Structure 1
């Protein structure tokens, strides 16, 4: 199995690059497991203090690979991927490193969950950021409910999830979904500059603050990923999900019936 994610470690800085540009870095089950494994390894690497996440090509990540969902026994087997996504969310939240997402193009669905799980989110003005699971009759996963609520509060999280609304970088920054909106083509430079500022700061003190602020959230996140796994399993066998995926593949408007 070829690697779909590149990891580069330079001194105290690690860069994780989603490297499936031909699918806009849409994640299938193999890629989700690979990412969870990578984050687990980095979490335990005490010589790395900052981790940058970015996508190759035109997007950060278009989310889960919808076409792969058509095959019930393929690389999107729900039981397996929910285990990996739960592991990923908990590792992202509890890792001692300061994490930075460099977002350009789409950060949609699971791609959005991963981006907003980072401590710092930098997005280009024309980015398309959306928690758009609703379009295929699913609920957010990868801790998406938790990270969205942490950033924008419960009431707004519900509206964003239910509408699947697509936000550009500026709009996302205005509601606190991302931390900084920059000109198109500048996210990666800005993220690298931010990484250097952090590396020149007392990173041990920063990591300690992160641990203190996140301590109470870990039990809640554990509950959220468990509930997401149960809900996703139920939604995957729903009529609306099958219709949503079919409509996506056929490039038409779905006809949902609430079942």
Structure 2
């Protein structure tokens, strides 16, 4: 019997993570969240993996927290532990040194929307829908939503989506700037996989550093220039830099090894 998380490695470089609770539009419960955290650890520890795709099985990406499961949590300690574990998912995705692409194949609501925002890039089917649905059931956003959404679209638009819990389509998401590409539903997997392959063939050390420093907030220009000086000095001494220059001169695709 398939688990609540499906994990596949494609071409030895691309990890495909699929939330697999189709009957509830892949909503989050305790067991799925535990499996998901373990799989993210595997992605972090497996040096062969260069990029990650996150998606949902069936017609939905993730409908957020499973309300029946949330209702079953009676003790404060249980509730706090579950919300912390859900937040850890977002943190692991955000801090992972490898690019993560959300392949949003259907509804992404509540924590599901925020899991997508924790990723580095979002490719969405033209049938995808998004909602910060928390206020509808008397909750505040979790799974990093209070951090990610306003960072992507600004505080005023974020407040609008969170206060009203309105459902928006992928075209609105694209205009707001949190979706990178809208794809025909039947071509979503193909186009997302093409992107993941391109990312997997990129220079892993450089991409990891780019992600790390773009995700860091509050640094001054002077601090960023100092980081660039230190990290570029290291990058210029890597085998990947040498390979990149050789490939450029020889007019071929580089083969990076992450060293």
Please say whether Structure 1 and Structure 2 have the same fold, judged by a TM-score greater than 0.5.
yes
- Give, in whole Å, the separation in 1 of the partners of 2:148 and 2:140: 14
Q: In structure 2, what is the equivalent of residue 236 of structure 1?
A: none
Matching of residue 216 in structure 1 with residue 217 in structure 2: yes
**Could you tell me how far 1:2 is from its partner in structure 2?**
6.9
- Give, in whole Å, the separation in 2 of the partners of 1:40 and 1:215: 21
- Give, in whole Å, the separation in 2 of the partners of 1:77 and 1:58: 30
Q: In structure 2, what is the equivalent of residue 68 of structure 1?
A: 69
Q: In structure 2, what is the equivalent of residue 9 of structure 1?
A: 9
Matching of residue 198 in structure 1 with residue 199 in structure 2: yes
8 Å CA contact retained: 1:125, 1:169 = yes
Which residues in structure 2 correspond to 1:14-53 (within 5 Å)? 14-53=15-54
Give the superposed CA RMSD. Answer: 2.0
Q: In structure 2, what is the equivalent of residue 82 of structure 1?
A: 83
Q: In structure 1, what is the equivalent of residue 141 of structure 2?
A: 140
Q: In structure 1, what is the equivalent of residue 167 of structure 2?
A: 166
Deviations 1:74-131 (CA, angstroms, capped at 9, x unpaired): 9x93112122122222211110010001111111111101111110101112211111
8 Å CA contact retained: 2:51, 2:200 = yes
**Could you tell me how far 1:24 is from its partner in structure 2?**
1.1
8 Å CA contact retained: 1:33, 1:81 = no
Q: In structure 2, what is the equivalent of residue 175 of structure 1?
A: 176
8 Å CA contact retained: 1:124, 1:181 = yes
Q: In structure 1, what is the equivalent of residue 208 of structure 2?
A: 207
- Give, in whole Å, the separation in 2 of the partners of 1:34 and 1:144: 21
Question: TM-score, structure 2 length as denominator?
Answer: 0.78
- Give, in whole Å, the separation in 2 of the partners of 1:119 and 1:186: 20
Q: In structure 1, what is the equivalent of residue 127 of structure 2?
A: 126
Larger RCO, structure (CA 8 Å, separation 6 or more):
1
Q: 1:51 is paired with a residue of what secondary structure? A: strand
Q: Which runs of 5+ in 1 are unaligned?
A: 218-259
Q: Which runs of 5+ in 2 are unaligned?
A: 219-259
**Could you tell me how far 1:46 is from its partner in structure 2?**
2.2
- Give, in whole Å, the separation in 2 of the partners of 1:128 and 1:65: 18
Deviations 1:33-83 (CA, angstroms, capped at 9, x unpaired): 221222133123222110000111111111111122222349x93112122
8 Å CA contact retained: 1:127, 1:169 = yes
Deviations 1:230-254 (CA, angstroms, capped at 9, x unpaired): xxxxxxxxxxxxxxxxxxxxxxxxx
